[in-house]
Amino acid sequence: MENEALLEKFEQLAREQQPQELRSFLDHQLITDIAELIYEDPDQASLIINNLTLSRAAAAFRILEFPTQEEIIRDLPATKTAELLNELPPDDRTAFLEELPAQAVQELIKLLEPEERKVTLSLLGYKENSVGRLMTPDYIAARAHWTVAQVLKHIRMYGKDSETIDVIYIIDSQGKLLDDFRIREFLLVSPDTVVETLMDDRFVALHVNDDQEDAIQTFRLENRVALPVLDAGGVMLGIVTIDDILWIANEEHTEDIQKIGGTEALDEPYLDMPLMRLIKKRVGWLIILFIGEMLTASVMAYFEDEIAKAVVLAMFIPLIISSGGNSGSQASTLIIQAMALGELTIKDWWRVMRREIVSGLMLGSVLGIIGFTRIIIWNQFFHTYGEHTLLIGATLGVSLIGVVLWGTFSGSMLPLLLKRAGADPASSSAPFVATLVDVTGLLIYFSVAYMFLQGILL
């Protein structure tokens, strides 16, 4: 209701062409409300940004989705675009530019001030998905021989240009990081205290070429609002802040969920994605899964004579296939999520395998007992399976144990194998594991059937 009122008021002021009232109205709204207003009325996005003060325009622009940002930049006058890009923090500006085509990036970089251009080109020079692309060079640095009073004076002079003043970094004359301090550590000691006497030379830092996913894990473990970024020689290049990490973590999580669902990661919101590109993202996996399921048909054709001799076996094929696929999908989803959260690594493969073998045996036994019991009870009422009821029940029960065991084993090991090979573990999606287990599950089922029913029904 409140959003509707804001939208109605904005549209009224826009229609009446009252620029002063419009600017006053927009400047009194929260940044999140401004973003919501833009999403509600995307055709007026550039008008909204153009009527905000520069700092508020940059604050609103940086939290918008990329497609909306792109539309705004396309519609803004060149002078306003230049002001906006120069006002954006370097990391947010880099995140926006790296999504654009190279030609557009070249044109926009020309609009930057010399110092901002230098910083942006430096950040764009780091490999994609590296910490270097996330960092900002705007931070507060102090020297070990300063007093606390000098540090606080330095913060008051230059703090407004820093991404955060929660953490102060101590560097030497070559720019190497020596230590870091939370601001409260300076506020709670005497102003005459020399910084060097407070140092313990213990700090946590990221490397400029670290993967962004590694940075997410470090932030999660260290509970920091910002972390320094160093080069190979220990020289401090910038910082990465928690807001950027949260944004990246959300993107990584969304990407993993899409891959687990059996599709390529979408690089735009679902409703903004052109239909043909959306189809292209989905069709590849569907073709792979379809070809995989063809192998299932081939296995059934191979055992055609056995199915003809014992038609009762065909009745339980969907049950076998679904049980194996479900158990494999469960295992792969659990392992992918655990790896994403840093709860396990490739080194834990043996522990994972032992747990999943035990889990597979127990889960398979539960389903096997239920399947065996169902056949016995069903035969009591409907006499469906005749004199070989116990053997058919045993075939189903043992097959379920084998198929579920194989499903949990393959579902848990496949993400680890992909990670070991340097691929994305999320690619071992639930549909992919299910298709793999479908084919092998039938082999297990008919092999068990031979063991129990050869010379009787087969």
CATH for the 141-241 domain, from 3.30.70.20, 3.40.50.300, 3.40.50.410, 3.10.580.10 = 3.10.580.10
Of residues 260 and 311, more confidently modeled: 311
What is the predicted pLDDT for the residue at 367? 92
How far apart, in whole angstroms, are the C-alpha atoms of residue 417 and residue 428? 10
| Model confidence band, residue 152 (pLDDT cutoffs 50, 70, 90) | very high
Mean pLDDT of 279-297: 71
How far apart, in whole angstroms, are the C-alpha atoms of residue 168 and residue 427? 41
Parallel/antiparallel/unpaired status of strands 167-171 and 141-142: parallel
| Model confidence band, residue 269 (pLDDT cutoffs 50, 70, 90) | low
**Lowest mean pLDDT, pick from 34-48, 327-341, 361-375, 414-428:** 414-428
| Model confidence band, residue 39 (pLDDT cutoffs 50, 70, 90) | confident
CA dihedral over 55, 64, 117, 165, signed as positive or negative: positive
The 10s digit of each residue's pLDDT in 359-372 is 999 999 999 999 99
Using alpha carbons, select from 432, 399, 398 the residue that is nearest to residue 291.
Answer: 432
Domain boundaries, the chain: 2-125, 141-241, 270-453
Mean pLDDT of 217-229: 86
Mean pLDDT of 209-220: 86
Mean pLDDT of 290-302: 71
CA triplet 343, 347, 348: central angle to 5 degrees? 55
Instruction: State the burial class of residue 138 (Cβ atoms within 10 Å of its Cβ: 0-12, 13-18, 19+).
Output: middle
Q: Two tokens at 180?
A: 């870091």
How far apart, in whole angstroms, are the C-alpha atoms of residue 330 and residue 334? 6
The answer to whether domain 270-453 has CATH 2.40.100.20 is: no
Reply yes or no on whether the pLDDT at 207 is more than 50. yes
Evaluate whether 205 touches 131 at the Cβ level (below 8 Å).
Answer: no
What is the SS3 assignment for 99?
coil
**Lowest mean pLDDT, pick from 3-17, 35-49, 161-175, 252-266:** 252-266
| Model confidence band, residue 268 (pLDDT cutoffs 50, 70, 90) | low
Mean pLDDT of 38-60: 87
Q: Two tokens at 158?
A: 């230059």
Using alpha carbons, select from 50, 69, 9 the residue that is nearest to residue 33.
Answer: 9
The 10s digit of each residue's pLDDT in 73-102 is 888 888 888 888 888 888 888 888 888 887
The 10s digit of each residue's pLDDT in 162-202 is 878 889 999 998 889 999 998 988 888 999 999 999 988 78
Evaluate whether 399 touches 450 at the Cβ level (below 8 Å).
Answer: no
CA 363 to chain centre: 30
The reported pTM is 0.59
Mean pLDDT of 388-404: 89
What is the predicted pLDDT for the residue at 160? 81
What is the predicted pLDDT for the residue at 404? 92
Evaluate whether 229 touches 122 at the Cβ level (below 8 Å).
Answer: no
Mean pLDDT of 29-43: 86
How far apart, in whole angstroms, are the C-alpha atoms of residue 162 and residue 88? 12
Evaluate whether 76 touches 102 at the Cβ level (below 8 Å).
Answer: no
With a pLDDT cut of 90, the percent of the chain lying above it is: 16
How far apart, in whole angstroms, are the C-alpha atoms of residue 332 and residue 48? 46
What is the predicted pLDDT for the residue at 271? 65
Reply yes or no on whether the pLDDT at 395 is more than 50. yes
The 10s digit of each residue's pLDDT in 125-143 is 888 888 888 888 888 899 9
Using alpha carbons, select from 90, 239, 243 the residue that is nearest to residue 168.
Answer: 239
Type of residue numbered 26: L
Evaluate whether 400 touches 364 at the Cβ level (below 8 Å).
Answer: yes
Buried b / exposed e over 214-246, threshold 16 CB at 10 Å, is ebbebbeeeebebbbbbeeeeebbbbbbbbbbe
Neighbours of 78 (CB within 10 A): 9
Reply yes or no on whether the pLDDT at 452 is more than 80. yes
Query: In which region does residue 27 sit, left (phi positive, over 0), alpha (psi from -120 to 50) or beta (all else)?
Result: alpha
Neighbours of 278 (CB within 10 A): 17
Name beta bridge partners: 142: 170
User: Between 31-40 and 66-75, two packed helices, what is the crossing angle to 10 degrees?
Assistant: 80
Of residues 205 and 224, more confidently modeled: 205
How far apart, in whole angstroms, are the C-alpha atoms of residue 26 and residue 47? 11
The per-residue pLDDT of the chain, averaged, comes to: 83
| Model confidence band, residue 1 (pLDDT cutoffs 50, 70, 90) | very low
Sequence-ordered list of residues with C-beta below 8 angstroms from that of 194, at least 6 positions apart, any chain: 144, 145, 146, 147, 148
Type of residue numbered 150: Q
With a pLDDT cut of 70, the percent of the chain lying above it is: 89
Sequence-ordered list of residues with C-beta below 8 angstroms from that of 320, at least 6 positions apart, any chain: 396, 399, 400, 403, 441, 442, 444, 445
How far apart, in whole angstroms, are the C-alpha atoms of residue 116 and residue 89? 9
Type of residue numbered 198: L
How far apart, in whole angstroms, are the C-alpha atoms of residue 416 and residue 36? 41
How far apart, in whole angstroms, are the C-alpha atoms of residue 414 and residue 418? 6
Using alpha carbons, select from 121, 126, 169, 125 the residue that is nearest to residue 144.
Answer: 169
Name the phi and psi angles at 155, rounded to 5: -65, -45
**Structural domain 2-125, CATH architecture:** Alpha Horseshoe (1.25)
Reply yes or no on whether the pLDDT at 428 is more than 60. no
What is the predicted pLDDT for the residue at 108? 84
